[in-house]
Structure 1
Amino acid sequence: MASFTDQLANFFGMNDTDTSLRELFISELKGIYYGEKQIADALPTMAEAATTDVVRDAFHQHLAETRNQIQRLEQIFQHIGVEADEKTCNAVDGLVDDGDVVIAATDSGSLTRDAGLIIAGQKVEHHEIAAYGSLHSLARLLGYHEAAQLIEQSLEEEKMTDKKLTEIAESFINERAKLESDNDDDTDRNGIRSQMRDTVREGDYGQTTGPFETGSSRSGVTGTGTEETAGTANRNWNSGDDVWTSPSSNNPYRGTTDPTAGGPSGL
C-alpha cells in the first residue's frame, strides 16, 4: 500500500507540489508553532495542580521537551526561508481549556484529579502526534529533508510522552482514583487520600509488564477499545488460587488476597 507521502505525490501535480503544498506546509507549521507555545504556557499549571510527584514530573519533563520543540520549529522556519509566525489553532485552545476544566471540576489533592489531568494530557498528545505526522509527510514530499528530520524528533517525543502517560495511568492512577471515589464517608476520605499518596510516593510507578508499541493510540485512563490485546488489561482476580493473572499472559503477578494491593507496578 502506498504511503501517505506517495499518495499525495500521485494526487498533486508538480506545480501543486511546488506551490499549494508549500503553502499548506507553512500554514500547518504556523499552527503547531502556536500550539506548542500554548501548551508550554499550560503545562506549569497542570504540573502544579497534580496530586502525585510522578504525574507532576511527567508534565515538567514534557515542558522541557516542548521548549525544545519550539526551537526546532524555529529552525525549520529558518531552513525554508520563512519568518517564524503563529496561526491560531482552535483545536489546541479547546484542549488547553479542557485541562483547566479538569482542575476546576476535581478536588485538590485527589487521585481523581491526576486521572483527569492524564486524560487531558493525552488528548493534547494525540493532537500533536497527528499534526507532526502530517507535517513529516509534507516535508518529505517537498524535499525539506532537514525539516523532516527535525519534525521526526518531535514526533517521537510526543509518542513517548503519550506512552508514558498511559503507563502511569495503568499502573496506579485509575485504581486509586476509583477507590477514592467509591468511599462516601467524608470523614475517612481524607485519610484514604493521604494513605494513597504516601503509597504512590513509595511505589515503583510508570512501569508495565511489557513494552507498548511506539505511537500506540491506547489511552491509559478510559481506554479506546483496543485494550483487549494489552498485557496489562482485563486482569482477572482468582481468589481460589490467590494469584492475579492477565488473560493475555500466564504470568502471575504478586500473590495477595487483595486485588487492589498488588500488581505489576508494585501497588
Structure 2
Amino acid sequence: NSSAQPIVLFISNERKTFRNTNTVNYDFKKLLKNDSHHLTALAGHELIKIKSTVDTDEVRFYPKLFTADQAFNLSTQGTPFSTDKFRNADDILLSYFARVNYDFEGKYLASATFRADGSSKFSEGNRWGYFPSAALAWRISSESFMESTHSWLDDLKIRASYGTAGNNNIPSDQTRTIWSGGTSPNTGWINNVNSFWTTGSSMTNPDLKWETTYTRNFGLDFTLLNGKLSGTVEYYWNTTKDLLLEFPVSGVGYSTQYRNIGETENRGWEVTLNWNPINKKNYGLSWVLMLVSIKIK
C-alpha cells in the first residue's frame, strides 16, 4: 500500500460436488429369434450438483520488517482491511440419455444416442439442450465377394457419423443479478458507511443458451497381414455455434458480459498407420505414423 507496509490476503475456497448416476442396459437376444441380429439398448439419468463458496480477507499495515511467514503467522499484528464472503449459486446439471446399438451378422452396424441436458446456468427458457448423434458402419471384409482377399486382408470397414454436443462452461450467476457484500474500513461509501453491496464487474445476460458443437466423421479402418499393419483414414468436419465468450462492454458500468457470439469451424484429413513387425510373448516392435491436415475457419 502507499506506506510500503506488507499486505496479506487470505482466500478460502470450498467446493462440494454431489453426483448421482443411474443406468439400465438390456440385450434383446432373447427376443430376437434370428442369431444374425444383435440389438442392445441403454438408458440413464444423471444429476450433478456443485456448491462453492469463496471467503476473502485482507489484512494491512504490518510492520515493514515483517517477512511473508511472519505476516501469515501473526495476522493479529496487522489491521483488518476488508472482508468478502461470496457463495456462488448452486451449479446443477440434470441429464437424461439413451443409446441403441444394432448389427446384422457383424457386417452392418448402426448406433444412435440422444442426450437431454438441463443446466441451472441458463434461464428457464434456454435451460434445456437436446443433442442427438448417429453412426453407421459397413464391414466390407465380411461380404462374400471379399473371400479372395482373406489371405492378406483381416478387416476392412467404412463408417460415417454425425453428432452434437453441448457446452455450458461458464461461471454461475451470469443470467441474473447477484449481490455480494463486503467491508472496507478505510473507505466510506455512502453516508460514511464502510460496508457495501456490489454486483461485481460482469453484466448479466438472461438470453444465454447452450453452445453446440456439430461433428461429422467419415472413415476407413483396415487391418492387413495378420494384424501386422493397421490404420485409419478419416475426414472430419466440426462446427461450433453460439460460442459462450466473455465480451468486453463499455459505458454501462460493467467490464464484461458473457454472450453467445461467433462460430468456429475446423475440418481436415487424418491418416494413422500402425506397423507391428514383431509381436512375441516377451518382446515386440511397433511403429506408429500419424498424418494430420487441418483447415480452421
Please, what TM-score do these two structures have when normalized by structure 1? 0.24
Larger Rg over CA atoms? 2
Of Structure 1 and Structure 2, the greater helix share is in 1
Of Structure 1 and Structure 2, the greater strand share is in 2
Please, what TM-score do these two structures have when normalized by structure 2? 0.22
